[in-house]
């Protein structure tokens, strides 16, 4: 009697479960582990299977059963006989497992690697009709694209839009001449030889685009920097930015007895941070050139890890970040205007500075003259023994001129400062150069190629949203 009650309750439970499924209107689907070849590890296959299961859940098209349910069913003796040693690739096996799991659909597939490309196949089998309804495949170039591959294969199976992988761009690198810190003429050739040794290893990383080294020399000349200042980090960042680079490599070498010490640094221009530093000590002999090659290889390897290629949007925003750090700021305008009226406007490249500063300087000069004139005429009046009325009149006129001049100084100071407080934010707006090819000109000297622009300003977020680019800097 007890066993009958248990059987009845079990039947009612199963019936209720089927009723809930019917009410929900979603068909049950199981995602079986992807089969894989010897070039794919079990962990990679499992990772990709879970990503496909997650992507399928997000579509909200099916009731996706959990992996635990599949494993539990595989552990049942009858299911084990159907699936053999834990794999289920034949149609008969998949259908039997689907019936055991009470699923209407089964998603199965495989992943393999050939010619350096990963191919992921997936297909959906209808358990009732015992036919494959859909089959799709995607290819990716590396394991990092597995999450996107899983989303795309589910999108294809669901008839949704496929996401394109975001294009990665290599960072641009400019290598400055190494600085001979002790200025030993017999070793001057190393200033060029050492950075030349970096060219091939950096190129082989396939993570960077090397800029012509003549570019930085041009910037050094235009800005009247001394070649020995190439190891100065601040100057290197400015030169690299104006050369339109993302990374600047600098270095120096010096002799310590019979040995030479070489130091090399890779600086990220957007953050103005030193990302890689390497030092190499070598004897001044035939081993020196081997050490230079080792330094170049080590630097290139570390740079590849610390400065990987970036999506175009991120790369642009990094450059904007550097420009934001170097541009003329609202607070900078206020501080300069408080120090000298008109200076803040000149700092902001605003024409009003050429009005305020001369007027303020003129009023200040007039006040100084009037103050000295008043002092002299006051003394003449105090010491006068005759002609008191004229002496008093002269002193009074000088007194009034001094006061008016002082009011002029205060007025120009107040007007200039009020101008910056009220309109200073608008002076931060990017200067626009309307020509055949529209450009935005920044303080950092980096021109942007713009497709469309209207009232673009440097407010974070708003600027990024307004920025549309056709190509890199």
Number of domains in the chain: 3
Q: What is the pLDDT of residue 472?
A: 37
pLDDT for 237 beyond 90: no
Statement to judge: residues 8 and 152 lie in one domain: yes
271 and 254 Cβ atoms separated by less than 8 Å: no
Mean pLDDT of all residues in 176-205: 91
Statement to judge: residues 80 and 199 lie in one domain: no
Q: What is the pLDDT of residue 428?
A: 55
Strands 247-256 and 439-441 turn out to be unpaired
Q: What is the pLDDT of residue 94?
A: 85
Statement to judge: residues 141 and 26 lie in one domain: yes
Q: What is the pLDDT of residue 52?
A: 92
State pLDDT tens for residues 295-341. Answer: 999 999 999 999 998 876 666 666 655 555 445 667 888 888 999 99
Q: What is the pLDDT of residue 234?
A: 86
Both structure tokens of 385: 């023994």
Gyration radius (Cα) of the chain, Å: 38
| Domain boundaries, position 271 | 171-308
Statement to judge: residues 84 and 8 lie in one domain: yes
Statement to judge: residues 208 and 153 lie in one domain: no
State pLDDT tens for residues 148-164. Answer: 888 888 988 888 877 76
Q: What is the pLDDT of residue 20?
A: 44
Statement to judge: residues 334 and 300 lie in one domain: no
Q: What is the pLDDT of residue 400?
A: 92
DSSP H/E element including 305: helix 287-306
Statement to judge: residues 298 and 177 lie in one domain: yes
State pLDDT tens for residues 262-302. Answer: 999 999 987 888 999 999 999 988 889 999 999 999 999 99
Would residue 437 count as lying in a domain?
A: no
Statement to judge: residues 179 and 51 lie in one domain: no
Neighbours of 212 (CB within 10 A): 10
Would residue 446 count as lying in a domain?
A: no
- pTM of structure: 0.48
Q: What is the pLDDT of residue 6?
A: 46
CATH number at residue 12: 3.40.50.10070
Statement to judge: residues 98 and 200 lie in one domain: no
Statement to judge: residues 26 and 126 lie in one domain: yes
Statement to judge: residues 80 and 227 lie in one domain: no
Domain boundary among 427, 445, 463: 427
Alpha-carbon distances of 225 from 147, 220, 235, 238, rounded to whole Å: 49, 5, 8, 11
Would residue 104 count as lying in a domain?
A: yes
State pLDDT tens for residues 421-434. Answer: 888 777 654 433 33
Say which residues have a Cβ less than 8 Å from residue 342's Cβ, sequence separation at least 6.
Answer: 352, 353, 354, 355, 356, 357, 358, 359, 360, 416
Statement to judge: residues 272 and 375 lie in one domain: no
């Amino acid at each position: 009697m007890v066993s009958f009650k248990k059987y009845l309750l079990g039947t009612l439970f199963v019936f209720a479960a089927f009723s809930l499924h019917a009410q929900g209107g979603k068909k049950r689907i199981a995602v079986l582990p992807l089969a894989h070849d010897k070039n794919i590890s079990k962990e990679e296959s499992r990772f990709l299977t879970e990503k496909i299961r997650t992507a399928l859940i997000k579509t909200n098209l099916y009731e996706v059963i959990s992996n635990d349910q599949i494993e539990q069913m595989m552990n049942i003796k009858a299911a084990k006989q159907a699936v053999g040693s834990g794999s289920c690739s034949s149609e008969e096996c998949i259908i039997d497992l689907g019936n055991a799991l009470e699923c209407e659909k089964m998603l199965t597939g495989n992943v393999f690697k050939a010619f350096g490309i990963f191919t992921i196949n997936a297909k959906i089998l209808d358990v009732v009709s015992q036919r494959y309804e859909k089959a799709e495949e995607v290819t990716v170039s590396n394991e990092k694209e597995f999450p996107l591959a899983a989303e795309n294969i589910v999108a294809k199976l669901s008839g949704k839009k496929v996401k394109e992988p975001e294009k990665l761009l290599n960072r641009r690198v400019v290598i400055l001449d190494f600085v001979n810190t002790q200025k030993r003429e017999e070793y001057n050739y190393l200033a060029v030889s050492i950075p030349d040794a970096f060219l091939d290893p950096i190129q082989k990383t396939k993570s960077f685009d090397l800029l012509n080294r003549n570019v930085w020399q041009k910037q050094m000349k235009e800005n009247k920097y001394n070649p020995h200042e190439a190891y100065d980090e601040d100057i290197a960042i400015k030169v690299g930015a104006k050369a339109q680079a993302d990374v600047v490599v600098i270095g120096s070498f010096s002799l310590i007895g019979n040995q030479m010490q070489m130091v090399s640094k890779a600086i990220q221009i957007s953050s103005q941070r030193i990302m890689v530093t390497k030092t190499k000590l070598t004897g001044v002999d035939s081993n020196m050139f081997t050490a230079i090659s080792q330094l170049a290889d080590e630097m290139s390897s570390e740079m590849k890890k610390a400065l990987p290629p970036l999506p175009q949007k991120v790369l642009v925003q990094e450059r904007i970040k550097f420009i934001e750090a170097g541009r003329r700021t609202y607070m900078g305008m206020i501080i300069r205007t408080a120090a000298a009226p008109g200076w803040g406007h000149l700092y902001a490249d605003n024409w009003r500075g050429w009005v305020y500063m001369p007027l303020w300087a003129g009023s200040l000069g007039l006040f100084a003259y009037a103050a000295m004139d008043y002092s002299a005429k006051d003394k003449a009046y105090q010491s006068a023994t005759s002609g008191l009325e004229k002496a008093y009149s002269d002193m009074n006129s000088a007194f009034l001129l001094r006061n008016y001049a002082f009011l002029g100084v205060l007025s120009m100071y107040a007007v200039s400062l009020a101008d910056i407080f009220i309109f200073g934010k608008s002076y931060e707006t990017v200067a626009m150069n309307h020509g055949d090819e529209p450009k935005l000109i920044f303080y950092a000297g980096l021109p942007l190629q713009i497709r469309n622009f209207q009232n673009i300003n440097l407010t974070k977020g708003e600027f990024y949203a307004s920025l549309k680019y056709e190509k890199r800097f």
